[in-house]
Amino acid sequence: MGAIKLKPEEKLAQLINSGASLVSTTDAATILGYKPNTLRVWASQGKGDLKPVMTGNGAKWRLTDIRNLVGA
């Protein structure tokens, strides 16, 4: 049995409630309705609607920036 897939607004609420400030590429893409690879391209080319925070584990995305984009 697979994991339950959350709707974008449910995923956003879950992350807000968790107190997260940075989110994974997969989570950011889910909330924004993009494919994760789109965000990876943005990160590598310095383009797109969001700017990543580079960590030792790759690109992370500011939850505040995501919330501003979706109007939450």
Q: Residue 49: its pLDDT value, please?
A: 85
Q: Domain of 23?
A: 8-70
Domain contains 66: yes
What pLDDT shows up at residue 2?
64
Q: What is the pLDDT of residues 22-60, one digit of tens each?
A: 999 999 999 999 999 999 998 899 888 899 999 998 899
Confidence band, pLDDT 50/70/90 cuts, at residue 1: low
Would you say residue 48 lies in a domain?
Answer: yes
Where helices occur in 1-72 by DSSP H, the ranges are 8-18, 25-32, 36-45, 63-70
What is the CATH number for 13?
1.10.1660
Which one-letter amino acid corresponds to residue 24? S
Alpha-carbon span 9 to 4, nearest angstrom:
14
Q: What is the pLDDT of residue 61?
A: 97
**Cα dist from 35 to 7, 24, 61, whole Å:** 14, 12, 14
pTM of the model: 0.84
